[in-house]
Structure 1
Amino acid sequence: MRRIMKRYAPAKVNIALDVLGVDARGYHDLDMIMAPVSLFDEVEIEPAARDVVEFVGMDVPEANTVRKAIDVMREQFGFSTRFFVRVVKRIPEQAGLAGGSADAAAVMKAIVELEGLDVSLERLMELGAKVGADVPFCLLSRWARVQGIGERVVPIESDWRFFIVLVKPAQGVSTPQAFARWDEGVQTRMDVDRTQAAVERNDLDALMASVCNALEAPAIELVPAVEQVRQDLLAQGVALARMTGSGSAVMGFSRDKSVLERAAKSLRTKYPFVEIVQVG
């Protein structure tokens, strides 16, 4: 009997992102507030004669996070099962939305269930850090303070949900290039504590006053279209437009969902990816 498991892999957004410096290993030390959003890739996985990973809707390199997740899990737990994985992509790449990490996290959770593995979420998150920087958060997939290179994830006690509009220009941002440009520029610290306090109070006005991203200016230098998206969103009446992650997707905030809907309708003719999503 075929055992096919289906999982949804939710994207994430960075409500706050600060770069604290570079550690002894050469990695950038981060401090972030992250949340899942209602934008999903669809993942199907089943045992097979050999490992095959198929992506629908996007060209993905042969070496990818899903294959790496399978390899890490097999090495750790010693199972011999091979898997066929089919991923229907809806999360755009080079957007700052963790599409690849979300897919890897979904596959890791599915393997735990298919193989009947006795492993805690905390241990799975430790293994996820070997796959990709955002995988530990994607395994948790709830409001969290995320630090280090993404391996330290502390849940925030909040079930808050609200809507934003996401807009991505055609050109993506290379994460390594964004960090390299940050290294070269003026480094301004972000108040992540203030953002977390707004999340804990479910205070949208305070949140919009504290949403921050240290990588936004470097990303705009690399891809000026990010700033054009920001200006187009503001022209449509959103209260705040801020880039997520290393970009190039931009979040539009408003207390009034109809403002988000009007902005989305107007900008769909200009940009290849425009979606209203729920945060949290």
Structure 2
Amino acid sequence: MLIKAYAKVNLSLDVVGKREDGYHILEMIMQTIDLYDLINIKKTNKGINISCNKQYVPTDERNLAYKAAELFMKTYNICEGVDIYIKKYIPVAAGLAGGSTDAAAVLRAMRNMYRPDISDEKIMKLGLNIGADVPYCVVGGTALCEGIGEKVTKLNSFKNHILVVVKPAFGVSTKEVYKSLDINKIKRHPDTNLLISSIEANNLNTLARNMKNVLENVTLYKHVVLKDIKKEMINMGAQGALMSGSGPTIFAFFSDMLKAQLCYDKMKKKYRETFITRTI
């Protein structure tokens, strides 16, 4: 079975509190983009075998796709095994949910292969044990995600908007970013209601000008080049630019494909992992 595992960007990311167990309480708007990994999954007699076209991607228990397969098999008493090949296109450690979307794709595929009666809600609940972005990645599209990622509310589709995505040649640890974040020093929070209204009205201009990610307070401070990327994309005609997740990927919306193409061409010369794509 061949399945696409789509990347996401954050149209907003807010941290509104912290639980006693140390987990941050989030409020964020997520959006699927047309950039994906290809997951080829087959039944085998036993065990979990992971392979990938990128040598630096772990293929053992550290891989979230492995964790997803193992969790599904244990939860539903599956005695057979699976062979999973990941053709990776989504950058790693980028804030684009590359690992989480692979895990979600494996959960969906295994449901189709073994237990088609299981609801999305059950798959999402299972996915939360793997990572905070997995429940959203199970359903995708445009959604408001709250709590630690377990509450996903579908919004009006914000599809078909052009964006350029730039991932510099370094990764960022999500754990370290959240560890460095001081909630009390966040001066400006996203206006989530305004952003949702913009999505409902399909108003790219208002949305792009009001996107906000509070984790930029940490990641952009540590990596000043990200500020330069945002500024350059705005100067090239972007309606708005933002860091996705904990970074370091920066994306920018364009109302005009020609401007987007010019931006892509310029950025691609500096940053190998640059993409021109659309929301879906």
1:239: Cα distance to partner? Answer: 2.5
Task: Map 1:5-84; keep pairs closer than 5 Å.
Answer: 5-49=1-45, 50-61=47-58, 62=60, 63-84=62-83
Give the aligned partner of residue 272 of structure 2: 272
Q: Do the aligned partners of 1:167 and 1:271 also contact (CA within 8 Å) in 2?
A: yes
5+ unaligned residues in a row in structure 2: which ranges? none
1:137: Cα distance to partner? Answer: 0.5
Is the partner of 2:265 in helix, strand or coil?
A: helix
Q: Do the aligned partners of 1:171 and 1:225 also contact (CA within 8 Å) in 2?
A: no
What is the TM-score of this pair, normalised by structure 1?
0.94
1:159: Cα distance to partner? Answer: 5.2
Whole-Å separation in 1 of the counterparts to 2:268 and 2:157: 32
5+ unaligned residues in a row in structure 1: which ranges? none
Q: Do the aligned partners of 1:13 and 1:244 also contact (CA within 8 Å) in 2?
A: yes
1:184: Cα distance to partner? Answer: 7.2
Q: Do the aligned partners of 2:135 and 2:149 also contact (CA within 8 Å) in 1?
A: yes
1:214: Cα distance to partner? Answer: 0.5
Whole-Å separation in 2 of the counterparts to 1:192 and 1:42: 32
Is the partner of 1:238 in helix, strand or coil?
A: coil
Whole-Å separation in 2 of the counterparts to 1:157 and 1:252: 20
* More divergent stretch after superposition (112-121 vs 38-47): 112-121
Whole-Å separation in 2 of the counterparts to 1:146 and 1:58: 32
**Residues 246/51 of structure 1: CA separation in 2 closer, same or farther (3 Å cut):** same
Whole-Å separation in 1 of the counterparts to 2:273 and 2:184: 29
- Post-superposition Cα deviations, 1:44-76, rounded to whole Å, max 9, x if no partner, equal 000124211111125123211111101111121
**Residues 151/83 of structure 1: CA separation in 2 closer, same or farther (3 Å cut):** same
Task: Map 1:100-249; keep pairs closer than 5 Å.
Answer: 100-158=99-157, 160-183=159-182, 186-188=185-187, 189-249=189-249
% same residue: 32
Letter in 2 for 1:254: F
What is the TM-score of this pair, normalised by structure 2?
0.94
Runs of 4+ in 1 over 3 A off after TM superposition: none
The alignment of Structure 1 onto Structure 2 pairs a total of residues equal to: 276
Q: Do the aligned partners of 1:45 and 1:85 also contact (CA within 8 Å) in 2?
A: yes
Letter in 2 for 1:261: Q
- Post-superposition Cα deviations, 1:87-106, rounded to whole Å, max 9, x if no partner, equal 00000011110000110111
Give the aligned partner of residue 85 of structure 1: 84
Is the partner of 2:91 in helix, strand or coil?
A: coil
Is the partner of 1:80 in helix, strand or coil?
A: coil
